[in-house]
Structure formats: C-alpha cells, structure tokens
Amino acid sequence: MVEGAGCVQVVDDATNIQQLRNRASPLAGSHTFSSVTNAAEIVDRQVEAYNDHDVEAFAACYDNDVVIIDSAGIELTRGQAQLREQYGRWFGANPALHAEVVSRIEIDAFVIDAELVTGTPDGTMHAVAIYHVGETGLIDRVQFLP
C-alpha cells in the first residue's frame, strides 16, 4: 500500500510505483526517475568549468538546444553556440570571475543553486540558478533569479 495526497493505493510492481511517483510530483512530466542518474553531477562540472573559464568544457555540459531565461521569462540564450559565444566573452572580460555554490536543492532532474559570484564588473552578485537536466544528461534549461 502507498499512502499520500489523502489516498491509499495498492502498488503491485515497480512500474506502478514509478507511475505513482510521477503523478504525485509537481515536477513530473519531463522525466522518469531513472532518466537522470545524477543531475547535480553535470551542474557541478559546469560550475567547475565556469570557475576555470574553460568555455569548451562549460558548453559541453549543455544540450545543443539549451534555453536560458531570466526571472521574467525573457530569453537570454538559445543554443549551445550562442552560449559558447556569450560566455567566452564573459570569461575573457572578467578574469577574476568565480562562482561559489552556497546552497543547493536537488529534485529529480532539477538542481537549484544559490550562488555567490565574484569578479564581475558590478562586484559580488547573489544569484539563484534553476537547472534542468534533460534526457541527454545535459543541462537543457536554466532560469536565473535575481
């Protein structure tokens, strides 16, 4: 028996458990639980590449069709090629750039990082990044919150 959301249901096998989890999760729909082994792992790699200013290693963590938006839903970046170009300039213009993950929440294919970014032209920035890791195992969506 599985209890949750005010109901009780008999679960016969692992497939039914997976279906129950997907229905119960407000983030369900884009993934099954087994489709992403560890979303935080790819996010950690992109943070490391960011701090190394290695645009190729950084871009390799992102899906070819990645979309990055701001808190208002305005598109900042579309596609790995544009990401490579934008971050290549950003790394080159800011040699002291460094991101520190202050806290993290992991939920299935989502990784939500509170970050402290130093070395920017505006000084230290606090940011929240919501990463989604797609079926390819790469980051396919990012939303930045101020």
Sign of CA dihedral 87, 58, 42, 21: positive
Q: Using alpha carbons only, what angle is made at residue 95 by residues 92 and 97, rounded to the nearest 5 degrees? A: 105
What local confidence, expressed as pLDDT, does residue 37 receive? 55
Q: Does residue 86 share a domain with residue 25? A: no
Residues ≥6 apart with Cβ < 8 Å to 114: 101, 102, 103, 104, 126, 127, 128
* Helix runs in the chain, H state only: 14-24, 39-52, 55-59, 80-93
Q: Does residue 43 share a domain with residue 26? A: no
What local confidence, expressed as pLDDT, does residue 6 receive? 34
Q: Does residue 92 share a domain with residue 43? A: yes
The structural domain count of the chain equals: 2
Q: What is the pTM of this model?
A: 0.75
CATH code of 80's domain:
3.10.450.50
Q: Does residue 115 share a domain with residue 98? A: yes
- Containing domain of residue 91, as a range? 37-145
Q: Does residue 82 share a domain with residue 52? A: yes
What local confidence, expressed as pLDDT, does residue 146 receive? 83
Q: What is the pLDDT along the chain (146 residues), one digit of tens a residue?
A: 333 333 333 333 343 334 434 434 444 444 443 344 599 999 999 999 999 999 999 999 999 999 999 999 999 999 999 999 999 999 999 999 999 999 999 999 999 999 999 999 999 999 999 999 999 999 999 999 98
Instruction: Residue 62: name the closest of 79, 47, 75, 44 by CA.
Output: 79
Q: Does residue 136 share a domain with residue 93? A: yes
